[in-house]
């Protein structure tokens, strides 16, 4: 690991620059390191972390790596709760016990055998129901009708502006993308590589950005629903053989050129 980062906490937080070796061209792994460290530092700076804290953490991580120890991945309790609530919404959208003949989520009573409480307890056995309901209402996942039953407002738990778990979720997604990239880099067979594609132009008129956003969102939702249906049809929780986690993530971007 390049140790030029040690100057970061004392002088500036970004960008990290790796100087070429005078004996030859800069290895591509070091170029990737430069890109990743610079991007991470910019990300952390923009979300408000002090430069001194960023530098301290980088020094601590470097010491861990140089000592031959593994760098721990820490997950917050709030993020773990968010993932379980996503699981509740998944079960409500997919389980035959909680969907009607058209495959649509049923309106559920709070208590009973096939109630919202019973559904929540599948994923969150020890969490108070009132706490989970509060989190689901905050993220506009459920609404209580006049008759007391609860209806599902969306099939996915969305993270919004200033959501406590958004940054942790984004970091987890970025990490998964890097795992896909390294697996593809090692895979010799092109047909065996995972999906990793980009559609873009460099001169989209700024006035078209909102239309691009709406178009991409609509198509992505339709495509992801199709992918999700296929995955659900082939999901086998009770399979005897080896199973793997599989999924697709989609994101869009607009930036100045």
Clarify whether residues 101 and 133 are in a common domain.
yes
Assess if residue 95 is contained within a domain. Answer: yes
As a whole number of angstroms, the distance between CA 141 and CA 132 comes to: 11
* Token pair in block for residue 40: 């991470």
As a whole number of angstroms, the distance between CA 129 and CA 131 comes to: 5
Assess if residue 185 is contained within a domain. Answer: no
Clarify whether residues 100 and 61 are in a common domain.
no
pLDDT at 162: 84
Clarify whether residues 81 and 148 are in a common domain.
yes
pLDDT at 20: 52
pLDDT at 164: 84
Assess if residue 189 is contained within a domain. Answer: no
- pTM for the model: 0.77
Boundaries of domain holding 129: 77-152
Clarify whether residues 84 and 148 are in a common domain.
yes
Clarify whether residues 55 and 87 are in a common domain.
no
The CATH number assigned to the domain holding 111 equals 1.10.10
User: What DSSP letter does each residue of 130-180 carry, written as one string?
Assistant: HHHHHHHHHTT-EEE-TTS-EEE--SS----TT-TTHHHHHHHHHHHHHHH
Clarify whether residues 60 and 94 are in a common domain.
no
* Ordered per-residue pLDDT tens for the chain, 257 residues: 444 434 444 444 445 555 555 454 468 888 999 999 999 999 999 999 999 999 999 999 999 999 999 999 889 999 999 999 999 999 999 999 999 999 899 999 999 999 999 999 999 999 999 999 999 998 899 999 999 999 999 988 888 778 889 999 999 999 999 999 999 999 999 999 999 999 999 999 999 999 999 999 999 999 999 999 999 999 998 899 999 999 999 999 999 86
CA-based max dimension of the chain = 76
Clarify whether residues 96 and 132 are in a common domain.
yes
Instruction: Classify residue 98 as exposed, middle or buried by CB count within 10 Å of its CB (0-12, 13-18, 19+).
Output: buried
Clarify whether residues 54 and 89 are in a common domain.
no
pLDDT at 3: 41
Clarify whether residues 107 and 141 are in a common domain.
yes
Overall number of domains in the chain = 3
């Amino acid at each position: 690991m390049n140790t030029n980062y040690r100057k970061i906490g004392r002088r500036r937080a970004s960008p990290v620059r790796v100087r070429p070796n005078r004996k030859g061209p800069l290895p591509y792994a070091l170029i990737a390191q430069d890109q990743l460290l610079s991007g991470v530092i910019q990300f952390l700076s923009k979300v408000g972390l002090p430069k001194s804290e960023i530098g301290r953490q980088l020094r601590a991580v470097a010491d861990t790596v140089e000592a031959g120890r593994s760098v721990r991945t820490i997950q917050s309790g709030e993020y773990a709760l968010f993932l379980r609530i996503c699981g509740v919404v998944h079960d409500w959208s997919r389980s035959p016990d909680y969907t009607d003949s058209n495959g649509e989520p049923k309106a559920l009573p709070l208590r009973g055998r096939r109630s919202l409480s019973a559904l929540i307890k599948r994923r969150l056995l020890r969490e108070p129901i009132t706490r989970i309901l509060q989190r689901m209402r905050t993220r506009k996942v459920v609404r209580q009708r006049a008759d007391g039953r609860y209806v599902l407002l969306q099939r996915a738990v969305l993270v919004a502006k200033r959501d406590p778990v958004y940054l942790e979720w984004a970091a987890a997604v970025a990490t998964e993308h890097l795992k896909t990239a390294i697996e593809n880099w090692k895979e010799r067979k092109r047909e065996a590589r995972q999906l990793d594609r980009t559609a873009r132009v460099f001169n989209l008129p700024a006035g078209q950005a909102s239309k691009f956003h709406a178009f991409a969102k609509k198509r992505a939702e339709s495509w992801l629903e199709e992918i999700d249906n296929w995955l659900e049809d082939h999901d086998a929780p009770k399979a005897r053989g080896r199973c793997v986690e599989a999924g697709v993530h989609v994101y869009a971007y607009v930036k100045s050129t």
